[in-house]
Structure 1
Amino acid sequence: MSDPAKLTIHAGTSAEGSDLVRQWLREHNWTANPEFMRQLQQAEHQAVPLVIMAEGGQGVVGGLLAETQLAWLRISIMAVDPRFRGQGIGARLLAEAERQALVRGCRHVYVDTMAYQAPGFYLRHGYSMVGEIPDWDSHGHAKCIFTKELSPESRVERK
């Protein structure tokens, strides 16, 4: 049997044929999960940014960057100025993000963090580690993936 295709390498995502590859995946998704795909097309189900800043006398001392879509809050980045860590700012940012997610109709939260960043923080706040990618940074450090189920009664625990 002969090889049906020659492989070529391209530097960008706009190479000739890229749109066709995307189309094939979309068509497959529409066939396999039409209800989900219909939901994604509706304006009310588009991802909505959520940005929460903690401000003090010196300006911004912490922040959380996230988005909500369908039933999920996805936290992309959360950081606190090193001079203000350990004072509950991160816990307050997280609690407010969860509160906003509930207002937006979310039932779940997803976040990933490096093993040297904040896995203990998320565990203390009711998150469950659902996955780990070893050596994510090619220097021996794992990426940890966490989720949490939200409910109106859910509370973010304090340190």
Structure 2
Amino acid sequence: MITTLETTATPLPEELAFLGERLMAFNDGDVGASERKALAVFVRDEAGAIVAGISGYTAWGWLYVQWLWVDERLRGRHMAGTMLDAAEKEAMARGCQNAWIDTFNPNAARVYRRQGYQPFGTLADFPVGRSRVFLQEKLSAG
């Protein structure tokens, strides 16, 4: 078998999809079906434009919040907590028992801690001068 090694900053979407599908198939065979399913929560203004949102997924009984953004005009109004509550409720409906999120923004870390998330790891200088904090929460219906 002849092989070549390619490094690129512009992979094709179908190449990334192929890679993701192959890895998910391997992991499902190794530890069982993940039942991975996208999860998003959006806040829209009166014109329907997104002014805050969460994007992530559920898999193996966990909610992972990959992205959480709030327009600066809505910050300080508990919008992140409201969206996390909605995402966690949906995750529990899907059978999830835990959630995790990460950030390198100290203000966001404080918000997540107020929401009940607890740190379980950090990467120093990610990015330089900050630490990326990983937080988790046990989900409960109460």
TM-score (normalizing by structure 2): 0.77
Does 2:73 align with 1:83?
yes
Secondary structure in 1 matching 2:58: strand
Describe how 1:23-34 pairs up with structure 2 within 5 A: none
Alignment-mate amino acid for residue 149 of structure 1: K
Q: Check if 1:103 corresponds to 2:93.
A: yes
Distance 2:35 2:105 in 1: 31
SS of 2:76's equivalent in the other structure is coil
Uncovered stretches (5+) of structure 2, i.e. residues with no partner: 12-18
Task: For 2:45 and 2:89, locate their aligned partners in 1 and report how far apart those are by CA, in whole Å.
Answer: 21
Cα shift at 1:56: 2.1
1:126 maps to 116
Q: What RMSD in Å do the two structures reach over aligned CA positions? A: 2.6
What residue number does 1:48 align with? Answer: 37
* Number of equivalences: 125
2:138 to 149, 154, 157: 149
Q: What is the alpha-carbon distance in structure 1 between the residues aligned to residue 131 and residue 68 of structure 2?
A: 18
> In 2, distance between residues paired with 1:136 and 1:87?
28
Query: How far has the Cα of 1:46 moved from its partner?
Result: 2.8
* Separation in structure 2 between the aligned mates of residue 116 and residue 135 of structure 1, nearest angstrom: 13
Following superposition, the deviation at residue 80 of structure 1 comes to 0.6
Q: Which runs of 4+ in 1 moved over 3 A?
A: none
**Residues 23-51 of structure 1 deviation map (CA, whole Å, 9 limit, x = unaligned):** 9xx59x97xxx5x2xx22xxxx3310001
